[in-house]
Structure 1
Amino acid sequence: MTAAAPTRGPRTADLWVRISRAIERAPLAVPLVLLAVVLTVVTDRFLSVDNLTNVIVAAGIVAIPGLAMTLCIAMGEFDLSVGSTVSLTGAVACTWIVGGHPAGVAMLIGLLVGAAVGLFNGLVVTKLGVTPFIATMAMLVIVRGVSLAYTGGRDAIVSSPTLKFLAAGRVFGVPMPVVLAVAAALAAWWVVNRTRFGRSVCAIGSNREAARMSGLPVDRVRTAVYVIVGAAGGVWGLLISSQLQKGSGQLGLGFELDAITVVVIGGTSLLGGRASVIGTLLGALLIETIRNGLNLLNTPPAYQRISIGLLLVVALTIQAMRRNTPRGGPR
């Protein structure tokens, strides 16, 4: 008699199915864990509490505009002016503080400036019919110029406990940027999965004309998304100025790449129609973990930018391969 080959029980099979589905929903979790393991082996400073806190705080800061950009990219568009918005927002807020205005009022004005940039982008795109790439690229140059002109090319140095609390403060022991990022993530998840606005964003990204014919207020939704991105860029600018305690027309250079990269590597397609909030959060963590690891290994800053650019290329390549793969699977 021969013994029957052992087979996996239903519980084991069900476990593997759940694991596979979890990986599909959060594909960056695996490379993030592997990267953490590698950094733990090559440097003994990675797992220190202070270092992990720095990584999470940095990820939280970039995740806030990334979550807003998730809506924009899910809509099939993107905003290249967000880096310049960071600069202008911080410059305005810090200049107002230097001028003797209350820090809270100055920060509010900064946020309104960021939202105004987003509103202008939305109106140019929807009312004038300019493509988002051209419109937001033009705004990138214009807003940067306005920021430099507003500051006169000089840094606005501040010493404001209120502004500093935004980046260095803690709420029940949790760093304030992490608190803001968690709140933004919960709001983004709710908007995407539980509101008509979120469904409209994805519908516009899937087929704008079909969404318009179905009665959706396409132009209003598009404009609102740009306002959200502008406001998120304003929050980003306040956080950076809070860290540095200054406003400058030079801040935010290249930040638009970071905001777009965390979204794309997180699984949100540049073609639109789908938004991944969890993917964006993991994308922010992955990018900041890479940066942190390169810093621990004393890698020059230029190579950090190269690594982020290469990561974006890899993510776009994977998206292209998925689009070109037949539904029946690879042949």
Structure 2
Amino acid sequence: MKAVGRGLASVPLAVPLVAVVIFLAFAAPQFTSGQNIQNILLAASLIVIPGLAMTLCITMGEFDLSVGSTVALTGAVTCTAIVSGTPTGFAVGLGLIVGAVVGLVNGLIITKLGVTPFIATLATLVIIRGIALAYTDGRDVIVSDPALKYLAAGRLLGIPVPIILAIVAIAVMFWVTYRTRFGRWVAAIGSNRDAASLSGLPVDRIRISVYVLIGIAGAIWGILISAQLQKGSGQLGVGFELDAITIVVIGGTSLLGGRANIAGTVLGALLIETIRNGLNLLNVPPAYQRISIGILLVAALAIQAIRRKVPLEALDDKK
């Protein structure tokens, strides 16, 4: 029983996800169709990539509120470059560079100027959103580019490209988090930054690297969304940063930092997109969908607070 309890504790969303799937299978018969399952996986694959990068940041005891604005700016830059005649590959590369620069700026503001992550990324959220709106002059940048569309709608070996990208990202992040010094250093900083610094770890460099990674992940998100919609816009990505943070927190990664749960983040993306999909099939208004996601986040935070007060080892001792 102890092994089962510890296993469920490591992936706390496994049971709720199964329960939601069973409920929706009966409540909305079309939920179990092959096309609908693919829609859920596609939606989850878009959010899980930035969610994985956010997992590292939260493991470090910090977070990035500017991801949604990065989505808008990188999508707008990529689409504008394509409209201007730039080859798609170069345009996508330009978008990724823009995302990396946003992450670098965030990291430098936080580490070199000593601004707290909340204030720093809240400020860049506003600034980057403003730049995106100014860059597009408040208008949508419409593109009709088969190569860009392929990123969102194409298939490789019969599998949608976004799902392949998500699988690769998950595999890489598992390796980085649990098998590399970098992953261990990130967790060490989240556990005790001062101790990590005194032990000789390049704390500032690691923190900056994580923010650059989030910027790149946000850029990938923005490019995929723009590829899906075939447009760039300064209005895209509003509230996306909260989605990225939510899947991490409900997946079991503590906001206090120190320990990542990559599997939990993946399940968090699947759970949120499954709920959204099911509520759409049940014709639930979008406002109530947002409320349901908010309730999930509050519940996850409450569970984390309870666990800090009553650790699993204490429950084992009582038994």
Q: TM-score, normalised by structure 2?
A: 0.97
The aligned counterpart of 2:126 is 141
Distance 1:32 1:18 in 2: 20
The alpha-carbon deviation at position 302 of structure 1 amounts to 1.1
The aligned counterpart of 2:197 is 212
**Pick aligned residue for 2:102 from 117, 122, 127:** 117
Higher percent of residues as helix: 2
**Pick aligned residue for 1:91 from 65, 76, 86:** 76
The alpha-carbon deviation at position 164 of structure 1 amounts to 0.6
**Number of residue equivalences:** 316
Work out whether 1:328 is the aligned partner of 2:314: yes
Distance 1:263 1:144 in 2: 23
The aligned counterpart of 1:281 is 266
The aligned counterpart of 1:191 is 176
**Pick aligned residue for 2:46 from 35, 57, 61:** 61
**Pick aligned residue for 2:56 from 66, 71, 84:** 71
Work out whether 1:200 is the aligned partner of 2:185: yes
Distance 1:300 1:166 in 2: 30
Distance 2:76 2:142 in 1: 10
The alpha-carbon deviation at position 17 of structure 1 amounts to 5.4
The aligned counterpart of 1:267 is 252
Q: Classify the secondary structure of the residue corresponding to 1:55.
A: helix
**Pick aligned residue for 1:170 from 152, 155, 158:** 155
Distance 1:27 1:318 in 2: 10
Distance 1:328 1:237 in 2: 44
**Pick aligned residue for 2:89 from 94, 104, 108:** 104
Cα deviation digits, residues 241-273 of structure 1 (max 9, x gap): 011000000000000010000000000000000
Work out whether 1:29 is the aligned partner of 2:14: yes
Computed over aligned residues only, the root mean square deviation of the Cα atoms, in angstroms, reads: 1.2
Distance 1:290 1:225 in 2: 30
Query: Which sections of structure 1, spanning at least 5 residues, go unmatched?
Result: 1-15
Q: Classify the secondary structure of the residue corresponding to 2:238.
A: coil
Distance 1:256 1:221 in 2: 21
Greater C-alpha Rg:
1
Identity %: 66
Q: Classify the secondary structure of the residue corresponding to 1:310.
A: helix
Cα deviation digits, residues 155-178 of structure 1 (max 9, x gap): 000001111111111111111111
The alpha-carbon deviation at position 18 of structure 1 amounts to 4.9
Q: TM-score, normalised by structure 1?
A: 0.93
**Partner AA of 1:318 in structure 2:** I
Q: Classify the secondary structure of the residue corresponding to 1:45.
A: helix
Distance 1:49 1:78 in 2: 36
The alpha-carbon deviation at position 104 of structure 1 amounts to 0.9
The alpha-carbon deviation at position 26 of structure 1 amounts to 1.4
**Partner AA of 2:297 in structure 1:** L
Stretches (4+) displaced over 6 A: none
Name the stretch that deviates more: 318-327 or 176-185. Answer: 318-327
The alpha-carbon deviation at position 328 of structure 1 amounts to 2.6
